[in-house]
Amino acid sequence: MRIRRIFVAVFATAALSAGVGLAGAATAQGAPSVVTPSECQQGGGTADLTTNTCKGGMYDGEQVD
């Protein structure tokens, strides 16, 4: 009985730690919602100033300020 409680506690701690790690990794990869024209170009895209969006590259579809 005691071993089972210890096992459950260790498993719950490991699951919680893994969940927090995955949530942190997902948030860290988000791109900024507004980029400058030079940031758009440095990311491999072209700033379309008629629609104020970045076309192509890593900021594709993001708003250009």
Question: Over the stretch 7-63, which tens digit does the pLDDT of each residue have?
Answer: 566 556 665 565 555 555 555 556 568 999 999 999 999 999 899 999 999 999 999
Predicted confidence at residue 33, as pLDDT, reads: 84
Q: DSSP 3-state assignment of 47? A: strand
Ranges assigned E (strand) in 1-65: 34-35, 46-48, 53-55, 63-64
Q: CA 6 to CA 10: how far, in whole Å?
A: 6
